């Protein structure tokens, strides 16, 4: 058999490390379809379940089309035609009518009806020997698969069935898709779309899965079964590597593992600078499986629990019991160390099927109905979270963090609801802590940072979210690979906002931490400590690297360097100053 030539492609290395494996193209391969009868009474429900999946598929395709516009002209045009054809098929075509008729006439579930309608159309095509028609056939399959996935947790099933050492390749993977990956079977992934601070990238780092995003036309360059190496540190993928290349990468991977092993020996040591300043290192957590990593890496608590991940990959909202159980497990695992639970921060790229219908496009807009705005608009959701948190407080120290705060009103309203919930729970005879958990605000909107002195008077603590703060200050989408080069946390405007917030917290004597991605990147550690931050929260696997950096620095030197940096107006010059030892 002829060996395929080695090919190397560049992209954005968003999750470090080297993954070796076999290509698994996401979107290829047919899904397992179960067929079951439904009662005559359930037929209208089944049809509306199908329509919901249809609407979701349409909005995903529209979204993809929107993103594809940022590709180079020829690619945008080509992808645009394909997506238009897919959208057209979902808008009342014969396929859609056929599926609804099938559910109605045969009283079987939507998934099986899709399969039958699809087979009918494909049979018609097969009688014609025409290349163009053949390509339409694969379009129809693709569209049907999307609707099938949206009917249930097929993505989950598909990923659970992955062989060990699979490397997932896709046009795009959402944070919800990434949350379903298991590091034991997925040794890396690569997509055409996605930016370095997207939640997909953050999830990859949290799970320790090497990832490269933003590789143009990646689906054209690989086939299922190809051997592949993902170099998430340098943003390279090597398809069908030669033996010599594989050996080089095996050696690189070994070096990284050896360094990690050395760093893990620091486990028992506290993070203290050479001149004696103690820095608290906590973890950002999205999924329960990460808690073990927090312990392994010596995290001193959870500085950010992104509770929105509990709302993804399901059709209904999690209830009080579900949430209480998850929080309890987390608090028990942390064994007395503090856990900061951020209330629902759905919105932007983080979507939940159960909320899309209510909020539509606004929930997908970074400037729309998201974070605390959504919770105040739907107090039932916030109240359920509060109830679960207040019950869980019996199992360990807890703090409540509000996302996307912009005004003092956001905090006072959220606090009033917290007090009301506690009063009601006490009246019901539930145990609620006498002193309610501290209520803090994420400072991640420039307006909130500039108003930090007034916010500090209504908040019990601050957590700086440098990811969104950078995005909103520089008007640069953190999830868009095309503007990744403009996403600059070292921009003087971002640094001034961080400094102003830190000073406001000091003036009003409230605790402050930082939980954006810069907290877990050793390049920024000196800067943050020199600015006066004493608590950093990051992906658990970054903790040893940051501890190592802190053990080798002096706070005094960093303070002096920050004084110099804050006079600078150019991010490149700031980066240079930071890299000088």
Site for ligand PEP in 405-464 (CB under 6 A): 444
Q: Which residue, 218 or 531, is less far from ligand PEP as judged by CB?
A: 531
Cβ 501 to Mg ion, closest distance in Å?
A: 14
Q: How far apart are CA 132 and CA 48, in angstroms?
A: 33
Cite the active site residues: 199, 515
Site for ligand PEP in 284-343 (CB under 6 A): 304, 306
Among 197, 286, 444, 481, binds Mg ion (CB under 5 A): 444
Site for Mg ion in 451-480 (CB under 5 A): 465, 468
Cβ 361 to Mg ion, closest distance in Å?
A: 20
Cβ 414 to Mg ion, closest distance in Å?
A: 16
* Cβ-based neighbours of 448, under 8 Å, separated by 6 or more: 405, 406, 407, 441, 442, 455
Contact stretch for Mg ion (CB under 5 A) within 72-80, 437-445, 472-480, 507-515: 437-445
Site for ligand PEP in 493-532 (CB under 6 A): 515-516
- What does 516 bind: Mg ion, ligand PEP, none (CB cut-off 5 to 8 Å by kind)? ligand PEP
Q: Which residue, 167 or 448, is less far from ligand PEP as judged by CB?
A: 448
User: For 442, left (φ over 0), alpha (ψ -120 to 50), or beta?
Assistant: beta
Cβ 539 to ligand PEP, closest distance in Å?
A: 11
Distance, first Cα to last Cα, the chain: 54
Rounded (to 5) percent helix, strand, coil in the chain: 55, 15, 30
Q: How far apart are CA 336 and CA 315, in angstroms?
A: 34
148 close to 154: Cβ distance less than 8 angstroms: yes
Let me know if 503 is exposed, middle or buried by CB neighbors in 10 A (0-12, 13-18, 19+). Answer: middle
Cβ 531 to ligand PEP, closest distance in Å?
A: 16
Residue nearest to ligand PEP (CB): 465
Question: Residue 239: which H helix or E strand, with range?
Answer: strand 236-239
Cβ 455 to ligand PEP, closest distance in Å?
A: 16
Q: Which tokens is 70 given?
A: 């940022």
Q: Which residue, 169 or 443, is less far from ligand PEP as judged by CB?
A: 443
Q: How far apart are CA 355 and CA 52, in angstroms?
A: 12
Pairing of strands 7-10, 302-306: unpaired
Q: Which residue, 300 or 444, is less far from Mg ion as judged by CB?
A: 444
* Cβ-based neighbours of 157, under 8 Å, separated by 6 or more: 31, 32
Count the residues of the shown chain that bind ligand PEP, applying the rule CB under 6 A: 10
Contact letters for Mg ion, residues 302-321 (x by CB under 5 A) = --------------------
Which contacts qualify for 251-259: CB closer than 8 Å, 24 or more apart? Answer: 252/18, 253/17, 253/18, 253/20, 256/16, 256/17, 256/18
Q: Which residue, 145 or 345, is less far from Mg ion as judged by CB?
A: 345
- What does 466 bind: ligand PEP, Mg ion, none (CB cut-off 5 to 8 Å by kind)? ligand PEP
Question: Residue 283: which H helix or E strand, with range?
Answer: strand 280-285
339 close to 397: Cβ distance less than 8 angstroms: yes
The number of residues in the chain equals 581
Site for ligand PEP in 65-94 (CB under 6 A): none
Site for ligand PEP in 457-476 (CB under 6 A): 465-468
Q: Which residue, 534 or 559, is less far from ligand PEP as judged by CB?
A: 534
Cβ 405 to Mg ion, closest distance in Å?
A: 11
* Residue 214 contacts ligand PEP per CB under 6 A: no
Q: Which residue, 414 or 515, is less far from ligand PEP as judged by CB?
A: 515
Cβ 261 to Mg ion, closest distance in Å?
A: 33
Residue nearest to Mg ion (CB): 468
Q: Which tokens is 257 given?
A: 């593992």
- What does 306 bind: ligand PEP, Mg ion, none (CB cut-off 5 to 8 Å by kind)? ligand PEP
- What does 515 bind: Mg ion, ligand PEP, none (CB cut-off 5 to 8 Å by kind)? ligand PEP
- Within a 13 Å sphere around the CA of 526, how many CA atoms are in the beta-carbon half? 23
How many helices (H) and strands (E) in the chain? Answer: 24, 16
Q: Which residue, 493 or 577, is less far from Mg ion as judged by CB?
A: 493
Q: Which tokens is 475 given?
A: 């008007």
Q: How far apart are CA 302 and CA 580, in angstroms?
A: 32
Q: Which residues bind ligand PEP (CB under 6 A)?
A: 304, 306, 345, 444, 465-468, 515-516
Instruction: Please give the residue ranges that form the binding site for Mg ion (CB under 5 A).
Output: 444, 465, 468
């Amino acid at each position: 058999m002829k060996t395929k030539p080695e090919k190397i492609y560049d992209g954005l290395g968003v999750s470090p490390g080297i993954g070796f494996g076999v290509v698994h193209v996401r979107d290829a391969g047919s899904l397992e379809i179960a067929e079951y009868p439904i009662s005559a009474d359930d037929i209208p429900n089944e049809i509306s379940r199908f329509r919901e999946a249809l609407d979701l598929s349409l909005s995903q395709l529209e979204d993809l089309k929107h993103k594809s516009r940022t590709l180079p002209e020829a690619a945008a045009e080509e992808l645009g035609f394909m997506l238009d054809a897919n959208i057209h098929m979902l808008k009342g075509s014969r396929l859609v009518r056929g599926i609804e008729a099938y559910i109605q006439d045969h009283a079987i579930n939507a998934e099986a009806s899709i399969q039958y309608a699809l087979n009918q159309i494909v049979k018609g095509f097969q009688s014609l020997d025409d290349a163009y028609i053949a390509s339409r056939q694969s379009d129809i399959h693709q569209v049907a698969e999307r609707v099938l996935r949206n009917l249930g947790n097929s993505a989950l099933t598909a990923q659970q069935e992955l062989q060990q050492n699979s490397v997932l390749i896709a046009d795009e993977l959402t944070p919800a898709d990434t949350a379903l990956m298991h590091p034991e079977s997925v040794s890396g992934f690569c997509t055409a779309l996605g930016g370095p601070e997207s939640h997909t990238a953050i999830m990859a780092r949290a799970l320790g899965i090497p990832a490269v995003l933003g590789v143009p036309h990646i689906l054209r360059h690989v086939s299922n079964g190809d051997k592949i190496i993902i170099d998430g540190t340098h943003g390279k993928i090597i398809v069908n590597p030669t033996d010599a290349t594989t050996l080089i990468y095996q050696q690189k991977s070994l070096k990284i593992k050896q360094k990690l092993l050395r760093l893990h020996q620091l486990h028992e040591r506290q993070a203290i600078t050479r001149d004696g300043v103690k820095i608290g290192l906590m973890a950002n957590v999205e999924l329960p499986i990460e808690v073990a990593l927090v312990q392994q890496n010596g995290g001193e608590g959870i500085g950010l629990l992104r509770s929105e991940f509990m709302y993804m990959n399901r059709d209904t909202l999690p209830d009080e019991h579900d949430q209480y159980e998850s929080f309890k497990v987390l608090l028990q695992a942390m064994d007395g160390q503090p856990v900061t639970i951020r209330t629902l921060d759905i919105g932007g790229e983080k979507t939940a099927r159960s909320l899309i219908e209510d909020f539509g496009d606004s929930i997908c807009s970074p400037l729309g109905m998201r974070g605390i705005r959504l919770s105040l608009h739907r107090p039932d959701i916030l109240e359920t979270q509060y109830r679960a948190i207040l019950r869980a407080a019996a199992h360990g120290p807890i703090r409540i963090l509000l996302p996307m705060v912009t005004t003092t009103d956001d905090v006072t309203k959220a606090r009033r609801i917290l007090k009301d919930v506690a009063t009601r729970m006490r009246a019901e005879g539930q145990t609620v802590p006498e002193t309610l958990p501290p209520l803090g605000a994420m400072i991640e909107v420039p307006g909130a940072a500039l108003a930090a002195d007034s916010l500090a008077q209504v908040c019990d603590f601050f957590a700086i979210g440098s990811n969104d703060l950078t995005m909103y200050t520089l008007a640069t989408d953190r999830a868009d690979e095309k503007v990744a080069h403009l996403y600059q946390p070292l921009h003087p405007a971002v640094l001034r906002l961080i400094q102003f917030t830190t000073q406001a917290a000091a003036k009003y004597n409230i605790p402050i931490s930082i939980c954006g991605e810069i907290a877990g990147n050793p390049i920024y550690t000196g800067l943050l400590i020199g600015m006066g931050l004493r608590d950093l929260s990051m992906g658990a696997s970054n903790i040893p690297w940051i501890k190592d950096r802190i053990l080798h620095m002096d706070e005094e030197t960093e303070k002096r360097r920050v004084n110099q940096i804050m006079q600078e107006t150019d991010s490149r010059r700031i980066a240079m100053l930071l890299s000088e030892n």
